A and B are shown apart, each in its own frame.
Chain A
Amino acid sequence: MRRVLNILPWRRARLEHELDRELHDHLDRRIDALLAEGLTAAEARQQAQRELGGLPQVREAVRDTWTWPWLDALVRDLRHASRSLARNWGFAAGAGAILALAIGTSTAVFSVFHAVLLTPLPYPDAARLVAIETLWPATGELTPAVSGPDFLDWRARSDVFEITAASYGNTDDAVLVGGRAVFANDRFVTSDFFAVFGQTAAAGRLLTERDVPSGDAEPTVAVVAHQWALTHFGSAQAALGQTVTVYATRLEIVGVAAPGFRYPGVTDIWAPWRVAGDPASRNSHDYQAVGKLSKTTTFRQAQVQLRTIGDALAREHPEAGLKTAALTPLHERVTGEASTTLWAAMMSVIVVWLIACANVANLQLARATGRAREIALRAALGAGRSHVVRLLVTEGGLLALAAGLVGVLLASALVAAIVAWPPVDLPQVGDPRIDGTVVTFALGLSAAATVLFGLVPALQVSRLDLSAAMKQAGSAATASLASTTLRSVLVVAEVALSVVLLAAAGLLLRSLQALERTDLGFRTEGILVATSEYAVTGTPSDLRARTAFYDEVLGRLRAVPGVRAASGVAYLGMGREPRALRDVAVLGRPEAPPGERPQAEFHAVTADFFRTLEIPLRAGRDFDATDTMDRPQVAIINDALARAAFGGASPLGQRIRSGSARSPWMEIVGVVGDSRWQDPSRPAPPVIYAASSQGVGNSLAILARTTEPDPTIATALREFMRRANPAVPVRFETMDDLLDDTLQYPRLRSQATAVFAAGASMLAALGVFSVLGVLVGQRTRELAVRRALGAGSGEMVALIVRQGLRLVGIGLVLGLAAALPVAHLLTGWLYAVSPWDVRTYLAATALLGASGLLATVLPALRAVAIPPVVVLHQE
């Protein structure tokens, strides 16, 4: 330790000083002794020094004991490098800032990337966990769910699993806890569910086979999430023995899961259930299934076996359609959509980092060439080539290391910002933070940067023709042709990479714009959304009570001043899972074969729904008070379904059916316009609207169209609902907020890419500028001679600009070539924009071309601004 500390300058100075005193003390004493022996002063001094063996050599030998010689050399190099950087503080600050920004953003994105994609799920043997899912081989479509009979058959016939479990559940269910109505995410799970994840209880016990209700009985016990227990009961222990009511089913809490365990998603309550094997439900993909592969099975083997079993079952049950089993690693299922976004972000920041390195390399090259004389002088004085290289690499390394450290600080701030940013909803894998791996990554980037921009120019420079460099007058030593070529290549690469990022950003921004401008078919402004959950068991009296509840609440709401229209809808999509399309049958018409039938989404709404959203009524009537549970069911369809199922004929009075043959026939009483209230990013699908007043559908989201935003309306509505039924939880949003939420990911993607692209383009322009500056500087004399011989300034500018634009041009062409395949990868994120969108590419080209032109014109103008006489006099 002391040896390391001894490199510190102040310790070093003290040691030197004391050594000096010590050695002089020795000499003085020896000289005194020799004088006593009768030698003259001069003789005594000479002999004393000879006996000691030369002061400089002794000093050097002593110094070697203070610290390791290599450390000493390193410190000397570092000191030299830092002095050299300090002399060029402008370069050091600029290059350092560019690098620190690039390393900081890369590191921040990497820390998220690492936490989500490189960290195993926080369960024992997480690598063996798989999601068991349904694959439709004809279309390649994957449904991340299984039907009950399929699950039981697959499980019975396979031997690749150690254990499996299935579950189904709802998000935002109405749950009564301690007399209060709250939204909760509940999950009905098979008894092995917790065992799959290797979980133990934080308090009480987990679910067992004995908890599973038999036959038609309801479950009686539940396990709750640790966080949920803390929120509602104060502690895990306090939750035990308490009761929660889910869908009128009273569940006694017998256990609390370990802190952090929420699978799937953010589950609050787990209750025991048994997978129903009812053959009629083979096509209801109600369950999510997970399994742990046995130790001796590889993922591939399991995949192959399940596929074989699934194929066999499809032959045995042709009525269920052509489907089979598929496995997905659970990690992949959990990280899902975030994974592509993260990969894209990671690639973008690495590209920006590469451009930053190329840029600093260019600056370094320009500097190194300017220093050719200094380096040549060093070489002439005996510094070996390796020494010169070491010096330049140390300089680069010092810069990169400083930038890396600043980058890590920057990254820790950025990570905190990313995690706290509402639109970023990260999958529950690991927490992004700056840990050893992340710091290693940052330092790795620094080291790689050193090689990229330190070593390459160093080797380049050390190859300089020494005698030529020495002969050059002044500081304008000409770079070798090779180093100019290298710099040109770097600039071309920067421009090309920038084009790729710019094009990607352009496409994503245009998609976002298109999304924001889409005609949704309804007016979103001024709509208050109150999501509620009225728990029912499905008995007719229950359904009647629910209808009465909503009738009462809506009636009171419509009377509130400022409310222009109010209604309810059973499932307000807006960014949540879209509803499945179901087959539509028309009474009196032969049914088309499966796959050719018209399909539609099915939604339950109340009267005034269309008036509230301002969706036009094309024909017929809206639902009204006459549509009760005692009357035959009626339906309203939208234009898309009218076109698809009835062509030009009027659908009014026709009877249709949605889904299976057990569904009732419904008479069409109205036709409304198409709209995208379920999902703004998809074209309006065909829709059948049913009247929720006829007992169809679930609880309602209440919509109120108000003349102006008024918080008292929400307060009033909450009070109406509480008075009508205190067990119904409610949550308020506005339609604009919900719409905005659906745009968060596209917005995040396009804005992040735009920022990266802007950074990259600016760096590229800076690169062009600096290279041109150097080239012009080198040719100052030649240009002056030409002008002295009569060439015009305009001609000179054109000459230089041509040279610069050639580099930019090559970069643009290469960049466009690389951008096309990248754009193709983005197809899934593009909306109403083709990946080959010519306007985007033209804009990207124009933007970079313009900044490139500016970056070449400025040095050219500067060159011709100096009168030739001045230049020639200087020589």
Chain B
Amino acid sequence: MTSARFPMPQGTLDMLILQTLSRDAAHGYAIAQRLEEVSRGAVHINQGSLYPALHRLEQKRWLKAEWRPSDTGREAKFYALTPAGRRQLEREKADWDRITTAVRLIFNEGA
């Protein structure tokens, strides 16, 4: 574990999980792998906080889960977005865009 990698910014894990699942369903391990890969290792996923996050999103009914055979043939718990989860993802992405735009504007102003 190299400490050079980013710790996950507060509150963004949920959004990233939703985004990861926006293409297709996946089990917990695959989600962790995918996040690591896509961020090219720049984002460090604390696997310990992944499962509480998944369960929290499931309780909020943004995700639904079902057990089914995975590529290895073993049964795994697959998470998928619900329509509510998809709407939530859109909201969070829009919020994120507004914030980053605002922050960039402020940075540019300051420069």
In the complex, the answer to whether A66 meets B74 with C-beta atoms within 8 Å is: no
Rounded to whole angstroms, the CA-CA distance of A26 and B50 in the bound complex is: 11
Rounded to whole angstroms, the CA-CA distance of A140 and B3 in the bound complex is: 95
In the complex, the answer to whether A22 meets B48 with C-beta atoms within 8 Å is: no
A52 at the binding interface (Cβ < 8 Å): yes
User: From residue 45 to 87 of chain B, which have CB atoms closer than 8 A to chain A?
Assistant: 46-49, 51-52, 55-56, 59, 61, 67, 72, 74-77
- Contact of A62 with B28 at beta-carbon distance under 8 Å, contacts A52-B47, A53-B46 already known: no
Q: List 22 A-B contacts (CB under 8 A).
A: A2-B59, A3-B59, A18-B77, A19-B51, A21-B75, A25-B27, A25-B29, A26-B28, A26-B51, A28-B74, A30-B29, A32-B72, A52-B47, A52-B48, A53-B46, A54-B48, A58-B51, A58-B52, A61-B49, A61-B52, A65-B55, A65-B56
Rounded to whole angstroms, the CA-CA distance of A3 and B47 in the bound complex is: 24
Q: Which residue of A lies closest to B32 (CB)?
A: A26
In the complex, the answer to whether B52 meets A62 with C-beta atoms within 8 Å is: yes
A64 at the binding interface (Cβ < 8 Å): yes
Q: Which residue of A lies closest to B45 (CB)?
A: A51
In the complex, the answer to whether B29 meets A26 with C-beta atoms within 8 Å is: yes
If over half of A's interface residues share one DSSP class (helix, strand or loop), that class is named, otherwise mixed; here it is helix
**Extra contacts besides A32-B72, A52-B47, A61-B49 (20): CB < 8 Å:** A2-B59, A18-B67, A18-B77, A21-B67, A21-B75, A22-B76, A22-B77, A25-B27, A25-B28, A25-B77, A29-B29, A30-B29, A53-B48, A58-B48, A58-B51, A61-B51, A62-B52, A65-B52, A65-B59, A66-B55
A626 at the binding interface (Cβ < 8 Å): no
A23 at the binding interface (Cβ < 8 Å): yes
Of the candidates A2, A19, A52, A65, the one having the most CB atoms from chain B within 10 angstroms of its own CB is A65
- Contact of A25 with B76 at beta-carbon distance under 8 Å, contacts A3-B59, A30-B29 already known: yes
| Chain A 5-34 interface 0/1 with B at a Cβ cutoff of 8 Å (1 = within) | 000000000000011011101101110100
B70 to chain A, nearest CB (A): 8
In the complex, the answer to whether B55 meets A62 with C-beta atoms within 8 Å is: yes
A537 at the binding interface (Cβ < 8 Å): no
Q: Which residue of B lies closest to A64 (CB)?
A: B52
Rounded to whole angstroms, the CA-CA distance of A53 and B45 in the bound complex is: 12
Residues of A within 8 A of B52 (CB): 58, 61-62, 64-65
Residues of A within 8 A of B29 (CB): 25-26, 29-30
Rounded to whole angstroms, the CA-CA distance of A53 and B46 in the bound complex is: 8
A214 at the binding interface (Cβ < 8 Å): no
Q: Which residue of B lies closest to A53 (CB)?
A: B48
In the complex, the answer to whether B74 meets A22 with C-beta atoms within 8 Å is: no
Q: Which residue of A lies closest to B61 (CB)?
A: A2
A214 to chain B, nearest CB (A): 78
Q: Which residue of A lies closest to B53 (CB)?
A: A65
- Contact of A23 with B74 at beta-carbon distance under 8 Å, contacts A2-B59, A29-B29, A66-B59 already known: no
Rounded to whole angstroms, the CA-CA distance of A58 and B29 in the bound complex is: 14
A37 to chain B, nearest CB (A): 14
Q: Which residue of B lies closest to A2 (CB)?
A: B59
Rounded to whole angstroms, the CA-CA distance of A22 and B47 in the bound complex is: 13
Residues of A within 8 A of B51 (CB): 19, 22-23, 26, 58, 61-62
Rounded to whole angstroms, the CA-CA distance of A53 and B29 in the bound complex is: 14
Residues of B within 8 A of A64 (CB): 52
Q: Which residue of B lies closest to A55 (CB)?
A: B48
B99 to chain A, nearest CB (A): 26
Q: Which of A19, A28, A53, A66 makes the CB contact (< 8 A) with B47?
A: A53
Q: Which residue of A lies closest to B77 (CB)?
A: A22
Q: Which residue of B lies closest to A48 (CB)?
A: B47
In the complex, the answer to whether A61 meets B48 with C-beta atoms within 8 Å is: yes
Q: Which residue of A lies closest to B27 (CB)?
A: A25
Rounded to whole angstroms, the CA-CA distance of A21 and B66 in the bound complex is: 13
B48 to chain A, nearest CB (A): 3
Residues of B within 8 A of A21 (CB): 67, 75, 77
A57 at the binding interface (Cβ < 8 Å): yes
Residues of B within 8 A of A65 (CB): 52, 55-56, 59
In the complex, the answer to whether A22 meets B28 with C-beta atoms within 8 Å is: yes
In the complex, the answer to whether A51 meets B47 with C-beta atoms within 8 Å is: yes
Rounded to whole angstroms, the CA-CA distance of A643 and B72 in the bound complex is: 117
Rounded to whole angstroms, the CA-CA distance of A826 and B28 in the bound complex is: 77
User: From residue 622 to 646 of chain A, which have CB atoms closer than 8 A to chain B?
Assistant: none
Rounded to whole angstroms, the CA-CA distance of A230 and B75 in the bound complex is: 72
Rounded to whole angstroms, the CA-CA distance of A23 and B55 in the bound complex is: 12
Rounded to whole angstroms, the CA-CA distance of A18 and B67 in the bound complex is: 9
| Chain A 712-747 interface 0/1 with B at a Cβ cutoff of 8 Å (1 = within) | 000000000000000000000000000000000000
A33 to chain B, nearest CB (A): 8
Rounded to whole angstroms, the CA-CA distance of A23 and B29 in the bound complex is: 9
B77 to chain A, nearest CB (A): 5
Rounded to whole angstroms, the CA-CA distance of A483 and B28 in the bound complex is: 57
B45 to chain A, nearest CB (A): 10
Residues of B within 8 A of A61 (CB): 48-49, 51-52
Rounded to whole angstroms, the CA-CA distance of A3 and B56 in the bound complex is: 10
Rounded to whole angstroms, the CA-CA distance of A65 and B46 in the bound complex is: 17
Nearest 8 pairs of A and B residues by beta carbon:
A53-B48, A61-B52, A65-B56, A65-B55, A29-B29, A26-B29, A22-B77, A62-B55
B60 to chain A, nearest CB (A): 9
Rounded to whole angstroms, the CA-CA distance of A64 and B77 in the bound complex is: 19
Rounded to whole angstroms, the CA-CA distance of A52 and B51 in the bound complex is: 10
Residues of B within 8 A of A30 (CB): 29
Rounded to whole angstroms, the CA-CA distance of A21 and B47 in the bound complex is: 16
Rounded to whole angstroms, the CA-CA distance of A21 and B32 in the bound complex is: 17
Rounded to whole angstroms, the CA-CA distance of A18 and B61 in the bound complex is: 17
User: From residue 11 to 59 of chain B, which have CB atoms closer than 8 A to chain A?
Assistant: 27-29, 32, 46-49, 51-52, 55-56, 59
- Contact of A25 with B59 at beta-carbon distance under 8 Å, contacts A52-B47, A57-B48 already known: no
Q: Which residue of A lies closest to B57 (CB)?
A: A65
| Chain A 686-710 interface 0/1 with B at a Cβ cutoff of 8 Å (1 = within) | 0000000000000000000000000
Rounded to whole angstroms, the CA-CA distance of A779 and B61 in the bound complex is: 63
Q: Which residue of B lies closest to A22 (CB)?
A: B77
Residues of A within 8 A of B48 (CB): 52-54, 57-58, 61
A139 to chain B, nearest CB (A): 75
Residues of A within 8 A of B74 (CB): 25, 28
Rounded to whole angstroms, the CA-CA distance of A23 and B76 in the bound complex is: 10
Q: Which residue of A lies closest to B30 (CB)?
A: A29
Rounded to whole angstroms, the CA-CA distance of A53 and B52 in the bound complex is: 12
Q: Which residue of B lies closest to A28 (CB)?
A: B74
Rounded to whole angstroms, the CA-CA distance of A62 and B50 in the bound complex is: 9
| Chain B 69-111 interface 0/1 with A at a Cβ cutoff of 8 Å (1 = within) | 0001011110000000000000000000000000000000000
Residues of B within 8 A of A3 (CB): 59
Q: Which residue of A lies closest to B55 (CB)?
A: A65
B37 to chain A, nearest CB (A): 13
Residues of A within 8 A of B61 (CB): 2
Rounded to whole angstroms, the CA-CA distance of A21 and B77 in the bound complex is: 9
Q: Which residue of B lies closest to A59 (CB)?
A: B51
Residues of A within 8 A of B76 (CB): 22, 25
Q: Which residue of B lies closest to A50 (CB)?
A: B1
Rounded to whole angstroms, the CA-CA distance of A19 and B51 in the bound complex is: 9
B74 to chain A, nearest CB (A): 7
Residues of B within 8 A of A32 (CB): 72
B61 to chain A, nearest CB (A): 8
Residues of B within 8 A of A62 (CB): 51-52, 55
Rounded to whole angstroms, the CA-CA distance of A51 and B75 in the bound complex is: 22
Residues of A within 8 A of B72 (CB): 29, 32
Residues of B within 8 A of A53 (CB): 46-48
Rounded to whole angstroms, the CA-CA distance of A3 and B1 in the bound complex is: 36
Rounded to whole angstroms, the CA-CA distance of A561 and B61 in the bound complex is: 89
Residues of A within 8 A of B49 (CB): 61
| Chain A 552-573 interface 0/1 with B at a Cβ cutoff of 8 Å (1 = within) | 0000000000000000000000
Q: Which residue of B lies closest to A32 (CB)?
A: B72
User: From residue 447 to 497 of chain A, which have CB atoms closer than 8 A to chain B?
Assistant: none
Rounded to whole angstroms, the CA-CA distance of A3 and B61 in the bound complex is: 12
Residues of A within 8 A of B1 (CB): 51
A431 to chain B, nearest CB (A): 44
Rounded to whole angstroms, the CA-CA distance of A19 and B72 in the bound complex is: 20
| Chain A 205-227 interface 0/1 with B at a Cβ cutoff of 8 Å (1 = within) | 00000000000000000000000
